[in-house]
Amino acid sequence: MLTRLRFLARVLLLFLVLLTAFAWLLHPVRVLPDLKSRQQIGMSLIKGASLPAPSEVYSVVLWTSHRRGEVGVFRIPVLTYTPRGNLVAMVEGRKNSEKDDVPKVIAVKRSTNAGETWSPSQWIVDDGNTTRRYCSNIGTIFVDNVTETIFLMYMYCGFCPVRSLMLINSTDDGITWGRPRNITDQVGKNYVAHPSPGYGIQKKHNPAKGRLIVCGHGFHDGLGLVLLLSDDHGVTWRRGAFVPSVPFRRSRRGDFDPDECQPIELPDGSLRIVVRNEHVYKCNCKMIMKSFDGGETLPKKHMFLDTHLIEPKITSGVWYSNGVLFYTGPNNTNNRTDLQLRWSYNNGRSWSKVMRIWEHKASYSTLTMLPNDEEHLYIMYERGWIVDDGNVARHNCSYLGSIFVDDTTATIFLMYVFCEFCPTRSLMLINSTDDGITWGRPRNITDHVGKDYATHPSPGYGIQKKHNPSKGRLIVCGHGFHDGKGLVLLLSDDHGVTWRRGAFVPSVPFQDNTDGNFNPDECQPVELPDGSLYLVVRNQHQYKCHCKIIMRSLDGGETLPREHMFLDRALVEPRITSGVWYHRGVLFYSGPNRPLAREDLYLRWSYNHGHTWTKGLQIWGHLAGYSVLTMVPDDEEHIYMIYERGTVKYFDEIAIVKLRLSMMTRNDTSSQGDVSPQKLVSPRTSDPGRS
């Protein structure tokens, strides 16, 4: 055990990232914090120190799904070492669509310096501009170490009545590739399976030492898996173990259906196969199968479910080295998100704690190591972010909205609008139940509130009422409608399951506003101790002043009475979203202290619910845009502000600042607060016309 711990402590993880519907980047980092979303394929390297656990060294993005041109989507990572100690990576390049059954290319990159840099992408298979279904699907890569040959076995026309099993190889370490050859007749049409994404193996131990083994799934007339075997270095092939689904045809949820599969060899010569549980047979977890005769059979008594390896129906990475079994896959039963690495010291009977590789959207992954390097483990995987519009037509896009927390269910929500400038817009809701680590699929709640009230949830945060009336209610303030302007409060009394519209304040006139008209726009609600709502509203068309509109609700957001609306001339604004927060008798406000220009960001506070305001504290003296405030529940000493800032444009950077309340409020004009802005990210694009 001590030897294994020392080995694992030295392991360096090199992540090769593949993103489908995502972006591909190349950025060496130390411990990178760095599908539908922009897809990437990349690589990170992790270094172990004194602890018996791997650590990341760097990450490289190999391909990005930019969704432009003929080949715009890259999916399905395949990775191997080469006979000369290099790396070869492959993906599917999908033409004009992200679907599985479209024409593709198989793209290859090669690295000769342990993954730090990669060759340009080379196409070794190109389906041309065929019709759907007449296409290739990438499969299994593997190496014959005796003949120093790299093979790729893949499927052609996998969605046709007659499918073809294809084999292509390289004899010069992956630099050039021969012509594909059809080996369908060797295994028989009834056993022509889709070689599963990942790698095949060459047995190092008896029985059947030297045998090449590929695991395939799915057949022309049914489902299940099969092992394909070669005992003459890939010249001829035959079928070995065959495990059909039950039933063989037309399986459905709950049925036994072994799908994509990754074999490894253990030191005793047995095979361990980690299998995708396609129809969720008894659990959202992996099937495990074992063979003791070199892949000739997979006895039923050696099949079991590993409930520790949960999965959202996906291909996972597996590797065995020096007594340690490694596994990668999304740590989620329903969504492809939160990719983690796990390891086992006892051949999978129990698993260690995990190491997070990518906390956002993540899908297929595969593992490898270089033959003469026991210090590094390479992970190639698909990754992305929680929402990505891709390269769609203009206006068919998402706009960030309101984030909020239901403290009762410990759920974080983000409500946003999709296709705001289309004739029909969609109000979307996405949530996280694990403290923001992973996020579920967006759901469309337009029908809940009605299309006439499908609004743009204002940038900032929503609230959950802490006091009566309507204690526990979730409230989001939105602005603008498909046919006019104004604001609306969106309400949920069942912890975000269903939504309805509350107070509605239209602009005057409702359509075709001009400067000087009444047009309440982006809005930020807070709750005061008496249970009333206090809304700070962007005065979009400068109604009577360059200052904020204030609205009050006394009934939990059902109404916003006209008699409780007023202009706060102390809060000047250049038409912008501002930050608002209430805490222990103090109302905080952040925004540019200029009536016409987005610059000179200040934090101000009021001890009497906004009747009067302090001079405040300057946060940023140059250009500054939107800002949002928050506090951590168990920390009453600090307030956090995230804001846009710059010197050329007001959105050059997104920064966060942490301020100490005791110092800040001791003197209304003090500038001695703990102001240490920290750059978080620089936005690539912005639309100043929209903002």
Q: How far is it, in rounded angstroms, from Cα 317 to Cα 89?
A: 14
Q: Which string of DSSP letters, residue by residue, matches 429-469?
A: EEEESSTTSS----EE-HHHH-GGG--EEPSEE-EE--SSS
When pLDDT is averaged across residues 308-331 and rounded to a whole number, the result is: 96
Asked if residue 357 and residue 242 are part of one domain, the reply reads yes
* Tally of domains in the chain: 3
Element (H, E) at 547: strand 547-553
pLDDT at residue 23 above 50?
A: no
Asked if residue 311 and residue 177 are part of one domain, the reply reads yes
Q: Could you list the residue range(s) of the whole structural domain that residue 207 is in? A: 2-383
Are the beta carbons of 553 and 527 closer than 8 angstroms?
Answer: no
Q: How confident is the model at residue 394 (pLDDT cuts 50, 70, 90)?
A: low
| Nearest by Cα to 90 from 219, 198, 244 | 198
* 348 phi/psi in degrees, rounded to 5: 90, 5
Q: What is the pLDDT of residue 434?
A: 82
Q: What is the pLDDT of residue 674?
A: 33
Least confidently predicted of 165-174, 614-623, 631-640, 658-667 = 658-667
pLDDT at residue 385 above 90?
A: no
Q: In terms of pLDDT, which residue wins out, 297 or 388?
A: 297
Q: How far is it, in rounded angstroms, from Cα 662 to Cα 247?
A: 69
Asked if residue 91 and residue 10 are part of one domain, the reply reads yes
Q: How far is it, in rounded angstroms, from Cα 154 to Cα 182?
A: 10
Q: How confident is the model at residue 669 (pLDDT cuts 50, 70, 90)?
A: very low
Q: How confident is the model at residue 98 (pLDDT cuts 50, 70, 90)?
A: confident
pTM for the whole thing? 0.64
Alpha-helical regions (H) of 112-234: 184-187
Asked if residue 284 and residue 329 are part of one domain, the reply reads yes
When pLDDT is averaged across residues 126-136 and rounded to a whole number, the result is: 86
Asked if residue 363 and residue 339 are part of one domain, the reply reads yes
Q: What is the pLDDT of residue 386?
A: 67
pLDDT at residue 269 above 50?
A: yes
Strand arrangement of the beta sheet that strand 579-583 belongs to = 579-583, 586-592, 599-606, 617-630, 638-646, 653-660, 678-681
Q: What is the pLDDT of residue 513?
A: 80
Asked if residue 327 and residue 475 are part of one domain, the reply reads no
Q: How far is it, in rounded angstroms, from Cα 265 to Cα 667?
A: 70
Residues labelled as active-site residues = 100, 364, 382
Asked if residue 257 and residue 283 are part of one domain, the reply reads yes
pLDDT at residue 5 above 50?
A: no
Are the beta carbons of 33 and 398 closer than 8 angstroms?
Answer: no
Q: How far is CA 591 from CA 106, 544, 626, 641, in A?
A: 52, 19, 7, 11
pLDDT per residue as tens digits for the range 579-608: 999 999 999 999 999 999 999 999 999 999
Residue 518 makes CB contacts below 8 A (sequence gap 6+) with 507, 508, 541, 543
When pLDDT is averaged across residues 491-506 and rounded to a whole number, the result is: 97
Q: Which string of DSSP letters, residue by residue, matches 648-670?
A: SSTTSEEEEEEEEHHHHTTSTT-
Of the candidates 321, 354, 383, which is a domain's last residue? 383
CATH number at residue 591: 2.115.10.20
Asked if residue 535 and residue 577 are part of one domain, the reply reads no
pLDDT per residue as tens digits for the range 271-303: 999 999 999 999 999 999 999 999 999 999 999
Q: What is the pLDDT of residue 635?
A: 93
Of the candidates 519, 534, 567, which is a domain's last residue? 567
Cβ burial of 408 (10 Å; 0-12, 13-18, 19+) is exposed
Q: How far is it, in rounded angstroms, from Cα 566 to Cα 574?
A: 18
Q: How far is it, in rounded angstroms, from Cα 662 to Cα 673?
A: 9
Q: What is the pLDDT of residue 132?
A: 72
pLDDT per residue as tens digits for the range 509-535: 988 888 999 999 999 999 999 999 999
Asked if residue 596 and residue 517 are part of one domain, the reply reads no
The pLDDT mean for the chain works out to 87
Q: How far is it, in rounded angstroms, from Cα 70 to Cα 227?
A: 35
CATH number at residue 228: 2.120.10.10
Asked if residue 332 and residue 370 are part of one domain, the reply reads yes
Q: How confident is the model at residue 257 (pLDDT cuts 50, 70, 90)?
A: very high
Q: How far is it, in rounded angstroms, from Cα 337 to Cα 658?
A: 30
Are the beta carbons of 407 and 421 closer than 8 angstroms?
Answer: no
Q: What is the pLDDT of residue 665?
A: 53
Asked if residue 582 and residue 556 are part of one domain, the reply reads no
pLDDT at residue 37 above 50?
A: no
Q: What is the pLDDT of residue 67?
A: 61
Q: How far is it, in rounded angstroms, from Cα 229 to Cα 140?
A: 13
Of the candidates 533, 567, 601, which is a domain's last residue? 567
Q: What is the pLDDT of residue 392?
A: 54
Q: How confident is the model at residue 675 (pLDDT cuts 50, 70, 90)?
A: very low
Asked if residue 590 and residue 453 are part of one domain, the reply reads no
Q: How far is it, in rounded angstroms, from Cα 250 to Cα 245?
A: 9
